[in-house]
Every structure is written in structure tokens, then in C-alpha cells.
Structure 1
Amino acid sequence: MHPSNLPVTLLRVFLATLFAFLVVFQLMSLPGQFALDAQGPSELAYINWILLVVAELGVLCVQVVIVCTWQLLTLVRRDRIFTEASLRWVDWIVGAFVAGWLLLAGLSAYLVGVIYFTPELRDPGVPILLFGAVLIGAVLVLLMLVLRTLLRQATVLRADMDVVI
């Protein structure tokens, strides 16, 4: 086994394990937990159903990133990472990051509104944490866009080098 294949193989093992974990989490743990919480006597129990939908869609975004990363690892193994094919998979990753960020930003805005209009919930800590999470998500989206631009430039340079050689 080539030394560079070991990290790719290990990453694939962890990606497959993470994907399997997320499927179990998505199908068993999330629905059960939120359904149990929604049965509570609180007048805010409906929020649990909103949280369930957002959590399920968030997990789906992570699963899309895992599948795309798997495909990119296939291209790495075949020494074809600097091709147009890799850009398609990176576009899907960027799309999943954007979708996840939009889910997070929308949920955060909604929850801050609920907190603001519910006097017994007015705690500045939760909105501050949500704002920080949205900022971190925005940084990750922008980082993925920069990395995609770098991959595009490297792909063009590789194509130019292939023509010269």
C-alpha cells in the first residue's frame, strides 16, 4: 500500500462509520427524542417539531458532504482530483454547507423571536450562542468557497501543465 493511501483508507473507514451512525441517529434517535419532548405540557411544545425537521435536514446536509467527500477521495486515489469532475462534487459540498447555514440562520432567527416574545424565556445567553453559531457557519461557507476557488485554479494549472508536457 502506498503511504498516501493509508490516510485515504482511514478517512473512508471513518466516513462510512459516521454515515451509518447518522442514518441510525436520523431514523431512530431524533424522531423519538423530539416526539417525547413534544408530548410535554408546555405551550411551546410545537417548537420541538420545528427542531426535528431542521435537525433531520441538517443531518441530511452532513450526509451529502460525506458522500461527496467519498467521491473526492476516489478521485484522489485515481490522481484525478484536479479535474472538472472534482469541481462538481465540491459544488455539492458548498451547496450542502449553504443549505445547512440557511437552516441554522432561519432557525436561529425564529428562536430568537420566540425568546424575545416569551418573557419567561428571555435569557441573553441563547441568542448570543445562536449568533455565534451563525457566524461560525458563515465562516465555514466562505472558507468552502475560497477552497473551491483554489481547486479551480489548481485544475486550470494542471490542465495547462498537461498540455505543455
Structure 2
Amino acid sequence: MLNVKWIVALLRVLLVLAFVFLLVMEFFSIPGDILHDLGQAPEAAHLLLPMLVVAELVMICFQIVLVCIWVLLTMVRKDRIFSDASLRWVDGIVWSFVAAWVFFAGLAVYLTAYLYLTPELRDPGLPLLLFGLTLAGAVVVLLMLVMRALLRQATTLRTDMEEVI
């Protein structure tokens, strides 16, 4: 079986790569793409600018999640994961996912309403995709809440076991 130190080290490398990827997307790729699209179709600014804002906010939420995971990995390595301190970092992950979901769901409602009110753009594909992604986001949020409850139970059990020993 793999050593936990190696797994934590590998995960940290991947977290750094993911963080750098999000920074590149946040500062270069997404704004550049949206600004290019605005140059091509300035009349679509009411659609593109909310998309830019939501994309930036969601990426910030994911960066917060990566930082929280980094701290939790430190706790795993030091065998302190089953503590009340770890619950605060899991709360950070949960609230970041909730915020990202709210931002994305708001954008999905806005875009779907716009598409529904514009007869020449009525295509069920994009609203269905937005609904599916919003649904998947809700599943992730609820899954994180269940994982937090499991961590709380494991922390309580470990505390009880330490008191007995």
C-alpha cells in the first residue's frame, strides 16, 4: 500500500498545478476570451459581462477550496484530521461550494430567462445544460455536507476513544 506521505506529496503537487491553472484562467484566458467576444458582438455585453463576473467568482471559490484542502492535507500528515479544527476548513470548502453554486445558479436562471424571452434563440440545449450543471453542483454541495457530518462523527468517536484510553 502507498505511504500517506507520498499521497499527500502527490496531491500537493496537483493542488499547486490546479491553483496555477485557475490563476491563468482567471487573469488571462477567460477575460481575454470574453473581451474578444465583446469586440466581435458588443450588443451581447448584457450576456457576456455577467458570465465574466460569475466565472471569476466561481474560480475564486475553487481557489479557496484548494487552500482548504492543502490545510486538511497537513492535518492528515500530522494525524490531526479528526479534530474540531479540521471542521472549520471543511466548512470553508462547503461554503465555497455553496457560494459557487449560488453564483452559477443565478447566472443559469438569468441566461435561461433571456433565452426563453428571445424567440429566435429558443433552443432547449443550453437551458438543459445549465440545469444539468446546476443540478450537479447541488449534488456536490449536499455530498460535502454529508462528508462533513461523517467527519464530525469520526471526530467524536476518536475523542471518546482517546478519553477511554
Under TM normalisation by the shorter chain, which class is it? over 0.9
Map 1:99-118 to 2 at 5 A.
Answer: 99-118=99-118
Q: Which residue of 2 aligns with 1:14?
A: 14
Q: Which residue of 1 aligns with 2:139?
A: 139
Q: Which amino acid aligns with 1:76?
A: V
- 1:131 and 1:25 map into 2 onto residues whose CA distance is 24
Q: Which residue of 2 aligns with 1:162?
A: 162
Map 1:118-129 to 2 at 5 A.
Answer: 118-129=118-129
Q: Which amino acid aligns with 1:123?
A: D
Structure 1: 5+ residue stretches without partners: none
Q: Which residue of 2 aligns with 1:92?
A: 92
**Stretches of 4+ moved more than 3 A in 1?**
none
- 1:12 and 1:140 map into 2 onto residues whose CA distance is 22
Deviation of the 1:4 alpha carbon: 1.5
Deviations 1:15-72 (A, max 9, x none): 0111012112211111111111112235323311111000000100110010000000
Q: TM-score, normalised by structure 2?
A: 0.96
- 1:21 and 1:57 map into 2 onto residues whose CA distance is 15
Q: Once superposed, what is the RMSD of the aligned Cα atoms? A: 1.1
* Preserved CA contact (<8 Å) 1:26 1:56: yes
Q: Which residue of 2 aligns with 1:77?
A: 77
Q: Which amino acid aligns with 1:94?
A: V
- 2:111 and 2:25 map into 1 onto residues whose CA distance is 23
- 1:59 and 1:13 map into 2 onto residues whose CA distance is 19
Percent of aligned positions with the same letter in both sequences?
A: 56
Report SS of the residue matched to 1:123: coil
- 1:42 and 1:82 map into 2 onto residues whose CA distance is 53
Structure 2: 5+ residue stretches without partners: none
Q: Which amino acid aligns with 1:59?
A: M
Q: Which residue of 2 aligns with 1:65?
A: 65
Q: TM-score, normalised by structure 1?
A: 0.96
* Preserved CA contact (<8 Å) 1:75 1:86: yes
* Preserved CA contact (<8 Å) 1:87 1:148: yes
- Name whichever structure is richer in helix by fraction: 2
Corresponding pairs, count = 164
Q: Which amino acid aligns with 1:8?
A: V
Q: Which amino acid aligns with 2:142?
A: L
